[in-house]
Amino acid sequence: MVDPFQSATELAAQVRRREVTPSELVEATLARIELHEPRLNAFCHVTADAARTVAREQDARLAAGEQDLPPFFGVPIAIKDLHPVAGWPLCSASIGAAHPVMERDAAAVAALRGAGFVFVGGTTSPEFGTVSVTESHRHGVTRNPWDLGRSPGGSSGGAAAAVAAGVLPIAHGSDGAGSIREPASYCGLVGLKPSRALVPSDIHAMEGLATEGVLTRTVADTAAALDVFAAAPRRSWYVAPPAARSYAESASVDPPRLRIGCNLQPAFPGVDVHPHAAQIGRAAAGLLSDLGHDVRDVRLPGLDPEWFERTFDVLYAAGSADVPIEDEARVEPLNRTLRERARATDALTYIDAVYALQLRSAELIGLWDEIDVMVTPTNPLLAPPEGWQWEGQEDDPWRPLRRAEQTASLTVLGNVLGLPAISIPLFSQPDGMPLGVQLMGRPWQDGTVLSLAGELERARPWHDRRPAGFA
C-alpha cells in the first residue's frame, strides 16, 4: 500500500528500487483524487487516461531493466491551471477566456516532464492568478484541508490543497507576489519562490516579478525539484548564475553561522499583523538563535502604499495580457477593471512604473548587505473564510486587490527584489492551523535559504502533522 504522505524523493527512490511501479503510484493518486475531490475542489481537470498511459510506458522501461532514469521517474504531479501543457486546454480559471489547446509545454512544465513526473491533471487557481484565495466563477471554491471553511490561499491554492491532503506528494505552482508561499503557509507545506531567472521561463512574466516552482511537504523535495529547474535549457533573456553545488546537497547540510534579520512588519505601513503571526515570527527567531545564528531585529524601510499602487498596479494590471479572451463581458469584475486600466495606460507610463520599481528595489536590497537571511511570518493575516476576498467589491472593484496586497505584504518584497524566499511549516497556531515562517535570502543564494530551511526542519520536524480527515 502506498503511503499518501510519502515525499516525492522517497517515492522516486522506491520506483528505482522496483518496490513500487509508476502505475501503482498513479492508481493510488487517482483513487485519492476521487475520494477527496468532492470536499477539496483542488482539480480543474483530471487526465486519468493519459496518466495511465505514461505510467504503463514507464512500467515497461522498468521491466526492461533500464537503470539511467530521471530523478522523479514515476512520481505523480499536477500542473497549475495558468501554465501551458501540451495537449491541454489553457483555462486560466476563466469563463471569458478562449481556452485554446496548447501545442507545447511551458519551459518549467517541460522541465518537470523531463524529470520523469507523471502529469495527472490541472489544479485550480483564481482567474488569471490575480488574488490571494482560490475561488473563481469557472472552478468554484477550493477549500483548505485543515479547515474546510477556510481558503488554502492563492493563487496556487489547488496545488497546496492537493499536497496537504495527501492526494499528491508534490505539485507545480507559480508566485507573482506570494502565490506559492502563501498557500504553503496556510496549508502546512514547504513553498519556495526561487531567485529571479533561476527557473526556466518562456517570458519574464510581470517584468520578472513572477516565477514558477513547486509545493511540497519536505525541504528535500523542494531542493531536488529546484535542481531539475536549474538544469533545464536556458532560452530566456536573463539567466541566473550556476550554484556552487546542487540544491539537494545544500538542503542536506547545516549552514555556517548566518546573520539573520528578524522582521515582523509588512512592507506596507498600516497592515496589522495578527498576534499569532507575530508570535510565530518571534519563535522562529528564537529557534535560529538557539541554533547558533546571529539574530538581530531589522526594520524594512517600507513601501508607501500610494507609490506602490502607482507602480506595481501598472504592471499587475497587464498580467493577463498573454491570455486569449473570447468574451470580455464574462471576465470577472476585478480582472475586467484591471484590463481596462491596462488599456488606458500608455507606454511611457508603463515604462516609468517599471523604472520606478527597479530604482526602489536597488535601494531596498541594500538591507541584505548587513544580513544573510531575513526571517518573517509568511502571512500577516490568518487564512480567510470563503468569500472574504470579494466583500465590498460592488462599491469598489479594486477592493479585492487591496485585500490581496494585505495578505501578500510580507511576501511581495521577494518578488520585487527577485530574492529567494521560502515558507516552511515550522509552527502551528494554538488551534492547530498551520501558519508559515518565511526565510528570504540574498540574490541567487537559494542554496543558503534551503540549507537554513533544512536545518530548521531537522531541529523541529513537521512531518507527522496532517489534517484530520485526510490522514
155 included as an active-site residue: yes
Preceding omega of 151 cis (within 30 degrees of 0):
no
Cα torsion 112, 115, 116, 117 to 10°: value is -30
Q: Would you say 181 and 378 are in contact if contact means Cβ atoms under 8 Å apart?
A: yes
246 included as an active-site residue: no
23, 155, 201, 409: the active-site residue: 155
Cα-flanking dihedrals φ and ψ of residue 466, to 5°? -140, 145
77 forms beta bridges with 119
80, 136, 151, 201: the active-site residue: 80
Phi-psi region of 433 (alpha: psi -120 to 50; beta: other; left: phi over 0): beta
For 441, the grid coordinates are 535570502
179 included as an active-site residue: yes
Pairing of strands 43-46, 118-123: antiparallel
179, 195, 423, 451: the active-site residue: 179
The number of beta carbons lying within 10 Å of the beta carbon of residue 37 is 17
Q: Please give the Cα distance from 211 to 208 (Å, whole number).
A: 7
**Which residues participate in catalysis according to the annotation?**
80, 155, 179
